[in-house]
Every structure is written in C-alpha cells, then in structure tokens.
Amino acid sequence: MGIQISGVTRDIIENAPAKPRVRTFPFSTSKWITHYAQVDSIEIQKGKFVDYLVLKGRNGEYGVRLSAQLDPSFIANDFGLNRQEVVERNTDRLVKILKAFDLAVFEESGEGVWLEPDRFPGAVGKAFMFSIKGATDDYGQPKFSDRGVAVTWAAFKGLAKELMPVVAPRDAAPEKPVACALNSYNADAPYGDDCIPF
C-alpha cells in the first residue's frame, strides 16, 4: 500500500495547471541587462507584515517575477538605512507598475488612490521591459539561495512597443543546477537531470 498524502484530493491533482517550468532570464553579475517580457499575470500576494502587487512576465521559456509593496512606507529591516530614500524607492516601484498598466482609480477629490484588481486582466499579454542583474556579496562573488539558485535583482522599466527576443549577454552567468538533497553520502545516483552531486 502507498502513503496517503493529507490535504490533497483527486480533484486538486487533476485540475493542477500543467505549465512548463520557466528559466531565469540570462543576466550578468557586473551590469544591468534589459530584457522584454509579456504579462503572464498580475496578482496581490498577502505577506506577514505587508501585501505585495506581483507582476509575472514571460518570454518563451524565460520567466520573471517583479513585486512592489502596497504600503511603500513599510521597511522590514531598517538597519541604519535612509528611511526617506527607501520609502521613495518603494513608492517609485509601485507607481511605475500602477501607471504602466492603468491599475489605479482615484477618489473624486483626487487625493485618494485605490488599486483596482478588476483591471488586472487588461494587463495580461502587454509587453514590458525590465532590467536584471546578479546579486553579489561583499567580496563581489555571486550570491546563491539555499536551493542553489543564483540570486538576482530585477527592476521594472515600463511598457514596450513589442516583445523582443531574449538575447544573452556575452558575460552572462551560467545557470547553476539545484543540488538534489537525495545526493548525500547515503543515497544512490541522482533521480534526474535537475540534480547534480554535491
């Protein structure tokens, strides 16, 4: 007999989207690279302390996720940062996305601004530009997440006239495969091409 998976039903499995996996757009760790994508979806993501407006874009096999805080004045870790500059950056990031995709509605007085989720579907399929750069540590070495994925910074640049093909820069960082947890000292050979030995 198999192992029962709690919290999962047949309906959930059969209705799960079968989207192909996306790859990170090619990037360099020394300079910002501009790419083009089409809006795949816009959604609101609930956070522990602040909610986010999340823009997901795609160009062929490549995907990108850009987010902006819905409360620009919230700063998670102050650590001596210039508070005014951080709030201005957060506000600028949110305003660029709201304006580009016409997602804001205004009170009659003109003072209050509201995000209108009913306008999200109108943005799907629109082409936009963004820039991406690899994150580095204090020694200039690329940063990697605990899953072995290169950490990147991405910035929304605005709408584009058309979707341009993805061009890798000459000094693009190679994709680093994720190390599989099964490849430990007491495990057999890897179970697929996505895993590499430690």
Report residue 96: phi and psi, to 5°.
-60, -45
pLDDT digits (tens, 9 = 90+) for 141-153: 888 877 777 888 9
- 86 against 101, higher pLDDT: 101
Name the band, by pLDDT with cuts 50, 70 and 90, for residue 154. Answer: very high
Is the pLDDT at 182 greater than 70, yes or no? no
What is the 3 state secondary structure string of 32-97? CEEEEEEEEEEEEECCCCCCEEEEEEEECCEEEEEEEECCCCCCCCCCCCCHHHHHHHHHHHHHHH
Is the pLDDT at 177 greater than 60, yes or no? no
pLDDT digits (tens, 9 = 90+) for 7-61: 878 887 777 766 667 888 999 888 999 999 999 999 999 988 889 999 999 999 9
Is the pLDDT at 163 greater than 50, yes or no? yes
Query: Residue 1's pLDDT is what?
Result: 54
CA-CA distance, 106 to 61, in Å (whole number)?
37
DSSP 3-state percent helix, strand, coil across the chain (nearest 5): 15, 30, 55
Residue 33's nearest CA partner among 133, 181, 137, 151 is 133
3-state secondary structure of 117: helix
Cα 144-145-148 angle, rounded to 5 deg: 75
